[in-house]
Amino acid sequence: MGEHQAPLRAPAGTHDVLWPDSARWERLVGEFARRARLAGFGLVLSPMFEDAALFRRGIGDESDVVRKEMYEFADRGGRDVALRPEGTASVVRAFVQHHPPVPWKAWYVTPAFRYERPQAGRYKQHHQLGVEVLGTDDADVDVEVIALAAGLYAWLGLERVDLAVNSMGCAECRPAYLDALRAYLDEHRDELCDEHRERYRVNPLRVLDCKRPACRAATESAPRITDYLDEACAAHLARVREGLGALGVAHRLEPRLVRGLDYYTRTTFEFSALALTSAQNAVGGGGRYDGLAEAIGGEPTPGIGFGIGIERLLMACDAEGVFPVAPPSPDAFVVDVTGGEVARDLTAELRAAGLAAVRAYDGRSLKSQLKQADRSGARYALIVGPDELERHVVTVRPLRAEGAQEPVGRDEVVAWLTDAGSER
Ligand code: HAM
């Protein structure tokens, strides 16, 4: 025999979600699915890894996500692949590959992988709920998409969520803005952080996104993109803001908001949880990407979507003290001290009737089974001892509700419990 090995642990920056905490995940994903369906979205599943070129071309070679954070590797066949750092590029790739009719509205829930330094609210594997709409640049879709996210935060009971909205302009008007921004940064070069002093010319927008105090201060009075939008982009932004106002979605214009992915055009937005004190307080973000489909080899097709980080969203709920989810408790716990056959058959019957039924295993004593029944949170213990077996009955003992225990005929137990359930 070998020596005892130290137990292996999940890699830093990843985490397990165990029951009963996972009950919140189940409820959250279920509600998101429901809301997405009501808004005309269908579930889309796509691979966890893709040709790395998809992310390089789609998200942009100059983004931090691609440059520093991608889980990229050669597989055993020498192919250059990457774990998805986000959901949008894959969904747009799937759209381009299968050309479904437009407008195409997809929702997803997916892990996303980013090689970041783990800290509170920042993981190497996180999870996102998201939607994408392909095939229309109607500003009302932007409103619909933003309102879908805002509605989820409200349903959770979150009250301290800030929504910042901006426009990144388009291929026509953005170059003039970039020129102006570069000219400004040329003059303030020495004030920038070490990284951006070297790199700002390649992608000046990244400087606006930099969280370091030096860059923040240096760009305080930098040119604002909203002053450079052409007529069509300005009208689009105005229509989005008007729509948000009409639907009662509070927001503010934030001309500094550029987001970390390079595919954005026109509308961008970010939701921040003000109850989270860490710098990692973005609980969702997204925007329009009218050039993305073309950048990855498809027909030019406009699109918009968002991603919501599930871990951060739940952290925000904890910080505001909302969205507690009680772990589901079973309807019945079958206690059988006659050999287990009744427990085996009765749990199967109860489950077939739609009741949640659990039991003990390994021939435990009556005392031990009753303790387990109590711990399980079950509403009733269904007790079968030699006497019950003989009389073909089950002793139904309320564990949560008021009332005395009573014998119920073995063949009537399922109906009895179903009635008890409907009286609740
Ligand atoms: P993103 O802003 O990079 O956008 O990520 C979306 C959300 O995922 C963030 O707001 C945050 O809640 C969460 N998140 C991101 N990185 C981490 C991390 N390392 N640890 C924990 N949570 C994280 C996107 O991914 C775009 N695909 C959104 C989109 C969809 N744009 C258009 N369509």
β partners of residue 393: 409
Residue 292 · residue 87 · CB < 8 Å: no
CA 261 to ligand 1: nearest atom: 3
Which two structure tokens, joined as six digits, stand for 289? 């990407």
- Predicted confidence at residue 379, as pLDDT, reads 96
pLDDT per position as a tens digit, 146-181: 999 999 999 999 999 999 999 999 999 999 999 999
CA of 379 to the centre of ligand 1 (A): 41
CA of 286 to the centre of ligand 1 (A): 8
Which two structure tokens, joined as six digits, stand for 206? 């990244």
Residues with Cβ within 8 Å of 404's Cβ and at least 6 positions away in sequence, in order, are 398
Residue for token pair 């969203």: 313
CA 270 to ligand 1: nearest atom: 10
Residues with Cβ within 8 Å of 229's Cβ and at least 6 positions away in sequence, in order, are 167, 169, 173, 237
CA of 235 to the centre of ligand 1 (A): 27
CA of 279 to the centre of ligand 1 (A): 14
CA dihedral 49, 51, 54, 59 (to 10 degrees): 50
CA of 356 to the centre of ligand 1 (A): 37
CA of 64 to the centre of ligand 1 (A): 13
Which two structure tokens, joined as six digits, stand for 70? 């991608």
Closest Cα to atom 8 of ligand 1? 309
CA of 19 to the centre of ligand 1 (A): 25
CA of 268 to the centre of ligand 1 (A): 13
What's the rounded Cα separation, in Å, for the pair 66 and 80? 13
Residue 69 · residue 124 · CB < 8 Å: no
Residue 181 · residue 209 · CB < 8 Å: no
Mutate to test the pocket of ligand 1, among 44, 54, 86 (most ligand atoms within 8 A of CB): 86
Q: What average pLDDT does the structure give for the chain?
A: 96
- Predicted confidence at residue 326, as pLDDT, reads 85
**Preceding amide of 302 cis, omega within 30:** no
Mutate to test the pocket of ligand 1, among 59, 128, 271 (most ligand atoms within 8 A of CB): 128
Residues with CB under 6 A from ligand 1: 86-88, 114, 116, 121-123, 126, 128, 130, 132, 260-261, 282-287, 305-307, 309, 311-312
CA 283 to ligand 1: nearest atom: 12
CB atoms within 10 A of CB 358: 19
Closest Cα to atom 18 of ligand 1? 122
CA 65 to ligand 1: nearest atom: 3
φ, ψ at 20 (rounded to 5°): -90, -5
Residues with Cβ within 8 Å of 259's Cβ and at least 6 positions away in sequence, in order, are 168, 209, 268, 270, 285, 287
Closest Cα to atom 25 of ligand 1? 86
pTM: 0.95
What's the rounded Cα separation, in Å, for the pair 83 and 279? 25
CA of 87 to the centre of ligand 1 (A): 9
- Predicted confidence at residue 12, as pLDDT, reads 96
What is the amino acid identity at position 87?
G
CA of 282 to the centre of ligand 1 (A): 8
Closest Cα to atom 9 of ligand 1? 284
pLDDT per residue of the chain (424 residues) written in tens, 0 to 9: 567 899 999 999 999 999 989 999 999 999 999 999 999 999 999 999 999 999 999 999 989 999 999 999 999 999 999 999 999 999 999 999 999 999 999 999 999 999 999 999 999 999 999 999 999 999 999 999 999 999 999 999 999 999 999 999 999 999 999 999 999 999 999 999 999 998 899 889 999 989 899 999 999 999 999 999 999 999 999 999 999 999 999 999 999 999 989 999 999 999 999 999 878 999 999 999 999 999 999 999 999 999 999 999 999 999 999 999 888 899 999 999 999 999 999 999 999 999 999 999 999 999 999 999 999 999 999 999 999 999 999 999 999 978 899 999 999 999 999 998 766 5
CA of 309 to the centre of ligand 1 (A): 6
CA 86 to ligand 1: nearest atom: 25
Mutate to test the pocket of ligand 1, among 126, 283, 317 (most ligand atoms within 8 A of CB): 126
Mutate to test the pocket of ligand 1, among 113, 261, 270 (most ligand atoms within 8 A of CB): 261
CA 305 to ligand 1: nearest atom: 33
Q: How many residues does the chain have?
A: 424
